[in-house]
A and B are shown apart, each in its own frame.
Chain A
Amino acid sequence: MIRFLASRVGFGAGVLLVLSAFVFFLFFVAPGDPARMIAGDKATESQLQQIRKNLGVDRPIVVQYGSFMQKALSGDLGFSYRNQQPVAPIILRRIPVTLSLVLGGALLWLSIGVPIGIMSARHVGSLRDRLGQAFILVGLSFPTFVLGMMSLYLLYFMPKQAGFTLFPAGGYKALSSDPLIWAWHLALPWTTLALTMAAIYARLTRGQMLDVMGEDYIRTARAKGLSERRVVWKHGLRAALTPLVTQLGADIALLLGGVIVIEQVYGLQGVGALAVQAVANQDRPIIIGVVLLGGLFIVIANIVVDLLYVLLDPRVR
Chain B
Amino acid sequence: MSGIAANEPSAEAEVVQRGSFALTVRRLRRDTASMAALCVILAVILLAVVAPWVAGITGHSPIEQFRETGLSPAGIPVGPGAEFWLGTDQLGRDVLVRLAYGARVSLLVGVFASMLASLIAVVVGTTAGYFGGTVDLVLSRLTDLVMSVPFLLCALALVSAFGPSLMLSVAVIVFFSWAPMARVIRGQVISLRRQDFVLASRSLGAGPLSIMVVDILPNLAVPIIVYTTMQIPNSIVFEATLSFLGMGIVPPTPSWGGMLADASSNSLYLVAWWLIFVPGTALLMTTLAFNILGDGLRDALDPKSARTVRRLRHRPKAGAKP
Name A residues whose Cβ lies closer than 8 Å to a Cβ of B.
Answer: 11, 14-15, 18-19, 22-23, 26-27, 29-31, 124-126, 129, 137-138, 140-146, 149-150, 152-153, 157, 169, 206-207, 210, 250, 254, 257-258, 260-261, 264-265, 272, 275-276, 278-280, 282, 284, 287-288, 290-291, 294-295, 297-299, 302
Contact = CB atoms under 8 A, between A and B. Distances in A.
B117 interface: no
Interface string B266-281: 0101100100110010
Nearest to A25: B161
B221 interface: no
A11 B144 CA distance: 9
A151 to B, nearest CB: 11
Contact of A299 (B148, B267, B269): B148
Instruction: Give 10 closest A-B pairs by Cβ, nearest first.
Output: A294-B150, A30-B161, A257-B150, A141-B288, A141-B287, A146-B280, A279-B160, A258-B152, A125-B309, A157-B270
Nearest to A129: B308
A29 B247 CA distance: 19
5 contacts: A31-B163, A138-B288, A146-B260, A153-B273, A258-B150
Given A141-B291, A261-B245, A264-B245, A153 B270 contact: yes
Given A146-B276, A149-B276, A282-B160, 5 more contacts: A15-B145, A153-B269, A257-B150, A280-B246, A294-B150
- The dominant DSSP class at the B interface is helix
A250 B148 CA distance: 8
B310 A125 contact: yes
B307 A124 contact: yes
A143 B269 contact: no
Contact of A143 (B145, B148, B287): B287
A125 B245 contact: no
Contacts of B264: 145, 149, 264-265
A290 B157 CA distance: 10
A125 B144 CA distance: 36
B107 interface: no
Interface string B239-250: 011001111000
Contacts of A124: 307-309
B284 A143 contact: yes
B156 A275 contact: yes
A125 B308 contact: yes
A145 B307 contact: no
B158 A26 contact: yes
Contacts of A276: 156, 245-246
Given A11-B144, A137-B292, A276-B245, A257 B280 contact: no
Contact of A19 (B149, B277, B283, B292): B149
Contacts of A143: 237, 240-241, 280, 283-284, 287
Contacts of A295: 148-150
A279 B153 CA distance: 10
B154 interface: yes
A17 to B, nearest CB: 10
A295 B150 CA distance: 6
Interface string B31-67: 0000000000000000000000000000000000000
B190 interface: no
A279 B141 contact: no
A80 to B, nearest CB: 14
Contacts of B276: 146, 149-150, 153
B310 A23 contact: no
Contact of B152 (A27, A142, A257, A288): A257
Contacts of A254: 150-151
Nearest to B160: A279
Given A27-B161, A30-B162, A145 B154 contact: no
Contact of B156 (A15, A27, A287, A298): A287
Contact of B291 (A22, A140, A294): A140
A279 B150 contact: no
B136 interface: no
A275 B308 contact: no
